[in-house]
Structure 1
Amino acid sequence: MPSPRPFAQVDVFSREPYRGNPVAVVLEAEGLDDEQMLRIAQWTNLSETTFLLSPTTADADYRLRIFTQAGEIPFAGHPTLGSARAWLDHGGEPRNAGTIVQECGAGLVELRHDDSLLSFAAPPTTRTGPIEDDHLASIVSALGIEAHQVIDHHWVDNGPGWAAVRLSTSAEVLALDPDFSRLPGAMVGVVGAHPSGAAHDFEIRAFAPGANVAEDPVTGSLNASVAQWLTGTGQAPHRYTVAQGTRLGRAGEIVVTVEDGRVWIGGEALALVRGTVLA
């Protein structure tokens, strides 16, 4: 028979409740097998559902498994922050005050928390460099723009397969009405600068038909690798903020900081649903 397990649904990357990106978190998930985890993830009908377990290494505070509706993935940004919030709310105490170490498929991920803001250290990218001409042309076509509108481009893959293009302005990013039927496996981020004096420095949109997500509301993994690209090439300062989800009616806000060569991706995380799940 299924047993009741602590459960939370956490809204991540927004200061306004119900306007960020939700993640479902099953705590005390020991004993669940892969099939059960996938079935629960498909039932929650969210982009990701996570399962908190005891760590297998003394260097970590907990172990996290992350499932999309299609299967397990090694790392994702908003599930990392949301799961850390659920763990803290459930009484979790990090071994080192102010620093949380998460064990996941991508290895050990360091997080820090300061009041309501949680940040994770951006994992290393697995693929970098300019996007090849033929693939870039396919992206441009799918976005419905002209090639000259792309002022820079880069592979920013830290696991999901992200490629990113930069447009001149946030207005161009927000005006996009892409058709990825011609590029169904794509994982594409598009970033553009807001005008001086705006509430945020950049606007970003994440199109992920390759993960069965037409457009993701707020994306930690993409912002992490885009931040590594932009700050590493001098196209962004060592502290900036990003708006995401605007076209979807969300109010995502990502805080990027670079300290001692490390990129940190931060945001608010608030558990809006708490209870138990039978699993």
Structure 2
Amino acid sequence: MGTAPFVTVDVFTDRPFGGNPLAVFPDARGLTEGEMQALAAELNLSETTFVLPPEHPGSTARVRIFNRTAEMPFAGHPMVGTGFVLADRSRDGLLRFEVPAGLVDVQVDHDARGAATGATIAAPQPLRIGGALPPGLVAECAGISPDGIVTVRHPPTLASDGGNPRVLVEVTEAALAAATPDLAAFRRAVAATPELGGLLSLYLYRRDGSRLRTRMFSPLTGTWEDPATGSAATPLAGFLLHRSGAISGAWEILQGVEMGRPSLLRTTAQRTPDGIRARVGGGCVRVLQGHAMLPDKPGP
């Protein structure tokens, strides 16, 4: 029986048992795709990453990201957490990961003693804004009244920058607190909206002074609620910049409070020649380490 070492980290937090948990397999050579998916399902976290040698000069590693049911082209907290785990492979604090969505640049953050404390990543693609969804449909999915959705600035809108598209939904304070995903409504929404491609993730947000408060629901992938979602925070930052007309902007996002796992995501966005580009970063804490036991592969 073979083994595969792994470590878990809590991402977008400065203390254990906050933020979003992530499992990282720092050396996934020899694992099959089926084993990676099985390990991600077994660990039952929102995502698990598997680190492989890079395919192109100048890259640090190729990283595969799996949620409970499928591989993902890009995800934010897995890139931040994997960068933190692989900090010793960085050059002057810089890493570059190959993921299906493109190249992800990672800046490792350090404290005064030189110890890694977290990381900041750049989304692999510029902001892409998709279509709008009916507020009533979104309200059903979120388990809230339609008047809890704020549409004065924008309707619920699809957006992405390399990851799975998220529906960005501004809501009232009461609606954010009351939201509870309705799985049957999610399934109806996907069946009625071909543009979703069989996937639906809601990223609810409200303005809270100088910060944003958010919640993310993706029950069709097994994530009933996510305590911190970097690949939703970056398109939200980019979308808010797009709406503002400014050259650049920065937002702190507080997520996971309702789950008892408060997370702080620091985002920035700026206009570039190829579109709006966004970054997200935060702290990380190691929590567990161990070895997964793998069944023997059948012989020839």
Report the TM range for the smaller structure's normalisation: 0.7 to 0.9
Q: In structure 2, how many angstroms separate the alpha carbons of the residues matched to 1:35 and 1:252?
A: 31
Indicate the residue corresponding to 1:103 in structure 2: 98
Q: Distance in 2 between matches of 1:276 and 1:32?
A: 13
Equivalent residue, structure 2, for 1:160: 164
Gaps in structure 2 of 5+ consecutive residues: 111-116, 191-199, 295-300
Q: What is the distance in 1 between the residues matched to 2:148 and 2:179?
A: 15
Of 157-166 and 78-87, deviating more is 157-166
Name the aligned partner's letter for residue 150 of structure 1: V
Q: Report the CA distance between 1:46 and its aligned residue.
A: 1.3
Q: TM-score, normalised to structure 1's length? A: 0.87
1:240–1:256 contact (8 Å) kept in structure 2: yes
- 1:195 pairs, out of 192, 209, 214, with 209
Matches within 5 A, 1:231-250: 231-234=241-244, 238-250=249-261
Counterpart residue number, 2:297: none
Q: Deviations for 1:217-267, whole angstroms, at most 9, x for unmatched residues?
A: 111111111111012211897122010011111111100123564321011
Distance in 2 between the 1:159 and 1:45 partners? 20
Query: How much has 1:129 moved relative to structure 2?
Result: 3.8
- Say if 1:26 and 1:50, in contact at 8 Å, map to a contact too: yes
Q: CA deviation at 1:187?
A: 1.1
Partners of 2:148 and 2:30 lie apart in 1 by: 54
- Whether the aligned pair in 2 keeps the contact of 1:10 and 1:271 (CA below 8 Å) is yes
TM-score, normalising length from structure 2?
0.81
Other-structure match for 1:257: 268
Name 2:84's counterpart in structure 1: 85
Deviation at 1:126, TM superposition (A): 7.5
Given the superposition, is the C-alpha separation of residues 137 and 124 from structure 1 closer, same or farther in structure 2, using an over 3 Å criterion? farther
Q: How far 1:172 moved relative to its partner?
A: 3.5
Q: Which amino acid aligns with 2:233?
A: N
* CA distance in 2: counterparts of 1:106 and 1:140, whole angstroms: 30
Between the aligned residues of both structures, percent identity stands at 30
CA contact (8 A) 1:16 1:251 kept: no
1:172–1:192 CA contact under 8 A, matched in 2: no
Distance 1:235 1:273, change over 3 A: farther
Q: Is the 2:126–2:278 Cα contact (8 Å) retained in structure 1?
A: no
Closer, same or farther: CA 171–15 of 1 in aligned 2, 3 Å: farther
Mapped to 2, the partners of 1:66 and 1:74 lie a distance apart of: 7
Deviations 1:160-190 (A, max 9, x none): 23111112x4453223234242123531111
- Give the C-alpha shift of residue 17 in structure 1: 1.4
Aligned length: 267
CA distance in 2, matches of 1:235, 1:211: 34
- Provide Cα deviations, 1:113-146, integer angstroms capped at 9, x if missing partner: 221231111232675144144xx43112333222
Unmatched 5+ stretches in structure 1: none
Distance 1:35 1:193 in 2: 42
CA RMSD in angstroms, aligned pairs only: 2.2
3-state SS of paired residue (2:28):
coil
